[in-house]
Amino acid sequence: MTAALEVEVARRLGEFELDVAFTVESGLSVLFGPSGAGKTLTLALIAGLVRPDTGTIAINGQVVTDRARRIHVPTQKRRIGMVFQDGLLLPHRTVLDNVALAVRQASGRRARRAVARSWLEQVGAEGLVDRRPGSLSGGQRQRVALARGLAGNPAIVLLDEPLSALDLVVRRELRALIRGVIISTGVPALLVTHDIDEAEELGDTIIGYNDGKVTATRRVDRSARLGPSAAEHESTESA
């Protein structure tokens, strides 16, 4: 089975040096570690926003970065969905149009909007379609950002600390939403966090980061965390 993501890269920025190698399979993987460990830089390399000094990156078996062979696929051609800490929604567009702009698999404004509306329904944001980002709460913005990240039929979704700016109650609610949507859609995801509770609650695999290195990789026992009935339900959704 082809891995969703294969990363083996090195990049120096000033005194900081990132040198990591890991693989992401199906489900939701988490890059966990302290601030400054290189997690966000890793996402930027995967997305093609930054080029490594050496190494390769492959998405679904397709090489998108290879410094030795001078391969660098542009960000917009990597089939990556991205969810940022602050959402980064376009302020002059409605919620519906923010999501519709990410749709690649449909042609025509009406078709793209129909796809966007279905994703907004999946994240519980169908009532926000005509609103503009400036009128949304932090949790609402992240729901819309998640819908946008998934609307373009991505090969993988990258989430850069999407919950860190939210209060605890909303954060817990959106943890369940993110995991539920990722598992139900079957789209592999890689999420960055420095919160161990968040990593344990969301992740199928946790990749530990510190000082620009991978320190450990482990699978999370979902059945122990969810209980037998919930684990069976989640297993059925991901089948």
CATH of the domain at 7: 3.40.50.300
Among 153, 170, 195, the domain boundary falls at 153
Domain boundaries, position 136:
85-153
Query: One-letter amino acid identity for 140?
Result: Q
Residues 148 and 205 in one domain: no
**Could you tell me if 4 and 62 lie in one domain?**
yes
Q: Which class for 153: exposed (0-12), middle (13-18), buried (19 or more C-beta within 10 A)?
A: middle
Q: Rounded to the nearest 10 degrees, how much is the dihedral formed by the CA atoms of 232, 180, 204, 115?
A: 120
Residues 104 and 182 in one domain: no
- What phi and psi, each to the nearest 5 degrees, are found at residue 224? -70, -35
**For 115-188, where are the E strands, in sequence order?**
156-160
Please check the confidence at residue 127 and state whether its pLDDT lies above 80: yes
Residue 236's pLDDT band, with cuts at 50, 70 and 90, is very low
Final residue belonging to a domain, choices 95, 125, 153: 153
Structure confidence at residue 233 as a pLDDT band (50, 70, 90)? very low
Same domain, residue pair 144 and 108: yes
Average pLDDT over residues 159-176: 92
Same structural domain, 75 and 52? yes
Residues contacting residue 222 through CB under 8 Å, at least 6 positions apart? 204, 231, 234
- Eight-class DSSP state of 171: H
Secondary structure (3-state) at 233 = helix
119 and 61 share one domain: no
How many CB atoms within 10 Å of residue 94? 17
pLDDT digits (tens, 9 = 90+) for 70-98: 999 999 999 999 999 887 899 999 999 99
CB-based contacts of 77, cutoff 8 Å, min separation 6: none
Query: Positive or negative, the Cα torsion across 32, 35, 37, 39?
Result: positive
Helical (H) or strand (E) element with 122:
helix 109-122
Give me the pLDDT at residue 230, please: 46
Same domain, 97 and 29: no
- Alpha-carbon span 42 to 19, nearest angstrom: 10
Global pTM? 0.90
Do 1 and 73 belong together in one domain?
yes
The reply to whether 63 and 174 lie within a common domain is yes
Same domain, 133 and 163: no
pLDDT of residue 189: 97
Q: How confident is the model at residue 2 (pLDDT cuts 50, 70, 90)?
A: confident
Domain count, the chain: 2
Say how many CA atoms lie within 13 Å of 86 toward its Cβ. Answer: 4
Domain boundary among 153, 169, 188: 153
User: Same domain for 159 and 239?
Assistant: yes
Residue type, 56: T
228 in the same domain as 172 = yes
